[in-house]
Amino acid sequence: MLAPWNEEGRLLAAIRGGDRSAAEELVERTYSAVYASLYRMCGDGEMASDLTQETYRKAWEALGGFDGRSQFSTWLYRIAYTTFLNAIRRPRRMMPLDDVAEMHDEAPAADDILRQREEAERLRAAVMELPDDLRFTVTAHFWGELPVGEIARMEKITGAAVRKRLRKAFSLLEASLDEEIG
Amino acid sequence: MNANRKMNLQRKLALTPVPAPPTGLAERIKHEIPEHLRFDAEAERKSLAQSLRLSLRVAASILILTIGAYAMLHVLSRINEQKPVAITTERRAPAAKESVASAPHAAEAPAPAPPPAPANVARRKIEPPTKIEPPTTRGLMQPAAAPEAMTFSPAVAAQSKAADSVAVQPTRLDAEATVSPISGRTMLRVSVASAPDAKVDVQGARQLSTDLYAIEGERATIRLRYRRDGAEKTIERTIGRADVRPWSDASQEMREAVMKAENAQR
């Protein structure tokens, strides 16, 4: 999937000038990436949809405070991530991916599709078990599709530190997945 | 982790299947775009900076007030500490403050000279430490008829030392109390002048050296017994908390005695 995390500067300037159509265009460009990252984090289409809406609601409220030091996409991803964390801290049902498949996918499920979904769910669960900093780095990089440099800027650390976090996260994920299979 | 497994994990992470966003999501989000989208970032920044400045001012005011109050309290307590208590007994009459030491001796001892004045009361004076009063006002160097005096000021003690060289040799009990900066104990230094056969007994304090005691309770009682003109006489003095002076105001002799005793204890 192509990440529409770029070319937002012009639209932002127009939004700041009160151009509503620019805001709509910005939504059009970014919402699927926001939805995808949230879906990967929560594994529930309905919840991802709600959280995407909530993310934009918060973004409009906070847009005045966006100083442009990071990319808008990075800033929006941070809001999405925080929204997700707040949501999972609330007592709310999170539905595993395979249950979603059972409920919504009434087409005959091929074995490999099911297996892929199970793997994806295991991986998602393992990522969610990572420590905060590693989880954020992994989700931002792989699910939010943010470059290492942007994550480093957002986290106020070096790119090398981000890569170190990713390496550590891989080790933990591998151990966690092996343990689950074994 | 080997490279293959790492790549595999990366691939899995990157290619987690994601369904397309539900139809109508974009419309719902667009529908929630606020009516008034004009954001004045500069104004927002200014108002943020303003509120920050206000918070800083409040914090600085609180800090200044706290420091001011603390400094004031500190200065006040220092002023209070620097007011030493000087105790002087003037012309202490044998009948009032001196007593015949014990009952058997009392029977044998000749009658002491009558009191020169009806009011032989020990007087306490609060005076600054630097102030040196003339010996005559203290009555330290009185003739043998009423020779006993007790001082609580290093200055007075110094005076009396100088006065000792004069022909008249009054019996004198000097006592000084201060708090040791090392152990925090209240130390009492007792010295007796012009009473070669004097016997000093200090109650409520533990003797650390010849003339130094550590006060163990709230007060200590010093009893000086000596003989003069064939009669046994006693000077008694009680040292309480109010008589303890700060270390900075203690006499050199006192400080030396305390440090010597503390070193010996170590």
ipTM of the modeled complex: 0.73
The answer to whether A81 and A136 have CB atoms below 8 angstroms apart is yes
Task: Sheet with B231-239: list strands edge to edge.
Answer: B199-203, B220-228, B231-239
Alpha carbon separation from A110 to A83, A118, A119, B189 (Å, rounded): 34, 13, 14, 101
pLDDT given for residue B170 in this prediction: 72
Given a cut of 70, whether residue A101 has pLDDT beyond it is: no
**Which residue in B16, B35, B44 has the most chain A C-beta atoms within 10 A of its own C-beta, making it the best mutation to test that interface?**
B16
From start to end of chain B, where are the E strands? 85-88, 123-126, 149-151, 172-179, 186-193, 199-203, 205-207, 212-215, 220-228, 231-239, 244-245
Cα B140 from Cα B159, distance rounded (Å):
9
Cα A165 from Cα A114, distance rounded (Å):
31
- Tell if the CB–CB gap between A1 and B18 is shorter than 8 Å: yes
pLDDT given for residue B66 in this prediction: 94
Contacts of residue A119, defined as CB under 8 A and 6 or more positions apart, other chains included, come to B12
Q: Which of B226, B26, B82 is nearest to B144 (CA)?
A: B226
Given a cut of 50, whether residue A4 has pLDDT beyond it is: no
Q: How confident is the model at residue A65 (pLDDT cuts 50, 70, 90)?
A: confident
Our CA dihedral for A133, A136, A138, A142, rounded to 10 degrees, sits at -160
pLDDT given for residue B157 in this prediction: 46
**Structure tokens given for B144:** 């043998």
- Using alpha carbons only, what angle is made at residue B102 by residues B97 and B103, rounded to the nearest 5 degrees? 115
Cα B3 from Cα B232, distance rounded (Å):
105
Q: Going residue by residue through chain B (266 aa), what tens digit of pLDDT does each one get?
A: 677 777 778 777 777 777 888 888 989 998 888 877 766 666 666 777 888 888 999 999 999 999 999 999 999 988 887 765 544 444 444 444 444 444 444 444 444 444 444 444 444 444 444 444 444 434 344 444 444 444 444 444 444 444 444 445 677 788 899 988 888 888 999 888 777 778 888 988 988 888 899 998 888 999 888 887 778 888 888 888 888 888 888 888 888 888 888 888 77
Cα B61 from Cα B49, distance rounded (Å):
18
Cα B86 from Cα A59, distance rounded (Å):
76
**Structure tokens given for A41:** 């984090």
- A120 vs B150: which has the higher pLDDT: A120
- A117 vs B164: which has the higher pLDDT: A117
Cα A138 from Cα A124, distance rounded (Å):
11
Query: Out of B18, B26, B45, whose CB is closest to A28?
Result: B26
Work out whether strand B149-151 and strand B212-215 pair parallel, antiparallel, or are unpaired. Answer: unpaired
Cα B238 from Cα B255, distance rounded (Å):
21
Alpha carbon separation from B100 to B53, B87, B96, B118, B223 (Å, rounded): 78, 23, 11, 19, 12
Residues of A within 8 A of B48 (CB-CB) are 65
Straight-line distance from the first to the last Cα atom of chain B, in angstroms, rounded to the nearest whole number: 62
CB pairs under 8 A between A and B: 98
Residues of A within 8 A of B33 (CB-CB) are 20, 23-24, 27, 56, 60
Cα B29 from Cα A57, distance rounded (Å):
8
Interface of B to A at Cβ within 8 Å reads: 1, 5-6, 9-10, 12-14, 16-22, 25-26, 28-30, 32-34, 36-41, 44-45, 48
Q: Which of B23, B249, B228 is nearest to B113 (CA)?
A: B228
Cα B179 from Cα B185, distance rounded (Å):
6
